Chain A
Amino acid sequence: MSRTTYLVRQAFTSLRRNVLVVAAAILAVFVSLTLAFGALVVNELFRVNTTRWQEGVHVVVFMKDDVSQAAQLDLQREIQAWDEVDETSYCDKTCAWLEFKEMFADQPALLEETDASILPASIRIKLVDVDFYRDITFRLLDNSAVRKTVTAGERFDQLSNISGILNALGLGLAILLGVASVVLIANTIRMAIYARRDEVGVMKLVGASNWFIRIPFLLEGMLQGLVGAALAVGAVWAGHSFLAGLEPEDFLIRLSVGDGFLIQWGILILLFGAAAGIVGSGLGLRRFLRV
């Protein structure tokens, strides 16, 4: 027991001794993992928001609640008759609620709180050619039964492209910074060993086992990685909460991913930070502590 406390105490003492370098290492882990985690969340947001479009739906027309269902079906028939339209389908409030439940299956609290009646009915339109979406939207603009028209089309493709580029950039940067943080951790561990070289020398002399000498340094590196990762998870969580606060009440567009997603990936990010710390200190230890 006293042996464990000894090892942990050593790690903390060492961390306190070179605050600046440790701060740099933690910062590098923090930035790199924030980027990586942020990219993951944006990706997920994108996926959640585009599920609808993936079945070839090009335009979604959300209906006003005060319009009778008969009138809505009339409108569907009218749209179906247009030349540019290939197919239409109608999704009433029940259907919207079912869809909503499916989308938010991982957030039971949200489902509990949401009033099924605020979700609008909609008509989904598949066009003969995607390029007609402008005409359709324009034609529906003045219709008194329509609350809002949302389209995929060009913008969807553009968004998809931009998001792909951003993701690649973010991921590339995250990997670069990830490597940098491992190297920085290795460096702090080297300094820590140098600061304690007399002690390490005596430990070797009196026959302390190799792992007994190494563990405080490994712990130290792991702590640096873990703290950086925790900060990253905190930052992304805060950013996500802020975004989720801006989410419109009727969920026409989603700005939040489920808590389940955040928790699952948050834990993975923490583990990744700890692993990066251990790898870093392992690199730092490699040359110094040969018997």
Chain B
Amino acid sequence: MILIEDVTKVYEGGIVALRDVSLEVPKGEFVFLVGPSGSGKSTLIRMMLREERTTRGSIWVAGKDITKMPGWKVPNLRRSIGTVFQDFKLLPNRTVSENVAFALEVLGRPKAVVNRQVAQVLELVGLATKGDRYPQQLSGGEQQRVSVARAFVNRPPILLADEPTGNLDPATSVGIMRILDRINRTGTTVLMATHDHAIVDAMRRRVVQLERGRVVRDQSRGRYESFRVDDDEPLAPVNNARVADEPQIELPPVSEGPAPSEVAEPEPST
């Protein structure tokens, strides 16, 4: 689904954000992208959306080399990728339903389809009764669920999340992770950049660790903390101490909601 080949990114001024990063993410996988601030996680995500260009190397998404894609095809690429950010990016003058519907309206979907899909996805994130609220009337966790709903309403095959739980308390974060997990089970590839030790440790999915622009670890069923692959030196003790302090949260099992196949009803091709 996603293939990153020897990607290097040098920003203006010679700051190297990524060095020869290679990564393959098969369809349907759930990947945590971890590493300290400035390690290149966000740059990687922005490049997958073609918000940044690569300096070297290529990125393949759904069989297409997006680094060579002409600009007018980029909107099409972004339609196949749902995105969730730490700061939600909701429009304050629109209700929950309108925020979610906006993603479909700008693609020119017919009203009936929009209404149906918005209702379905709000049900999925547990906000079916709050469609008429405005974002500022919701808690942070609820706002992030709206944002997830908007990212997924178009049923994209890929979901990118850049620290989606960064602004949320641990219990609320678990709620968001349950939704992302459920979305992943519908066959959607999920790539999530995070600092959240507890979440990573509880979910035990594939973990890709970046440090100073390099992939230093790629581990299936990994934990947040680890040892450096290259020199076997432990991470800075301050990190370990923080991990120990974090409350350990067990991710509750996904409740028996609608079966994934029902949720991910393929949209009519346009």
Interface residues of A (CB under 8 A from B): 2-3, 6, 198-199, 201-210, 212-213, 290-291
Contact = CB atoms under 8 A, between A and B. Distances in A.
A205 B154 CA distance: 12
Nearest to B49: A205
Contacts of A290: 71
Given A2-B111, A209-B72, A210-B71, 20 more contacts: A2-B110, A198-B89, A198-B91, A201-B89, A206-B107, A206-B150, A206-B154, A207-B76, A207-B77, A207-B79, A207-B81, A207-B106, A207-B107, A208-B106, A208-B107, A210-B75, A290-B71, A291-B50, A291-B71, A291-B75
A207 B89 contact: no
A282 B177 CA distance: 43
B108 A207 contact: no
A199 B89 CA distance: 9
Contacts, number: 54
A70 B72 CA distance: 83
A206 B79 contact: yes
- Number of chain B interface residues as a range: 20 to 34
Contacts of A198: 89, 91
8 contacts: A2-B110, A6-B105, A198-B91, A204-B75, A207-B81, A207-B106, A207-B107, A213-B106
Contacts of A204: 75, 78
Q: Which 3 residue pairs of A and B lie closest in terms of their CB atoms, listed nearest first?
A: A207-B78, A207-B79, A208-B106
Interface of B: 49-50, 71-72, 74-81, 83, 89, 91, 102-103, 105-108, 110-111, 150, 154
A202 B102 contact: yes
A290 B71 CA distance: 9
A199 B49 CA distance: 18
A206 B106 contact: yes
Contact of A205 (B71, B78, B107): B78
Contacts of B111: 2
B50 A206 contact: no
A199 B103 contact: no
A291 B71 CA distance: 7
B108 A212 contact: yes
Nearest to B105: A6
A198 B88 CA distance: 12
A68 B89 CA distance: 92
A202 B50 CA distance: 15
B89 A212 contact: no
Contacts of B107: 206-208
Contact of A202 (B71, B80, B81, B89): B89
Given A198-B89, A202-B91, A206-B150, A291 B74 contact: yes
Contacts of A207: 75-81, 106-107
A290 B51 CA distance: 10
Contacts of B77: 207
A205 B105 CA distance: 13
A7 to B, nearest CB: 10
Contact of A208 (B49, B75, B80): B75
Contacts of B103: 202, 206
B221 to A, nearest CB: 31
Nearest to A205: B83
B227 to A, nearest CB: 37
Given A2-B111, A198-B91, A291-B50, A203 B106 contact: yes
A290 B50 CA distance: 12
A134 to B, nearest CB: 73
B108 to A, nearest CB: 5
Nearest to A206: B103
Nearest to A213: B106
Nearest to A3: B108
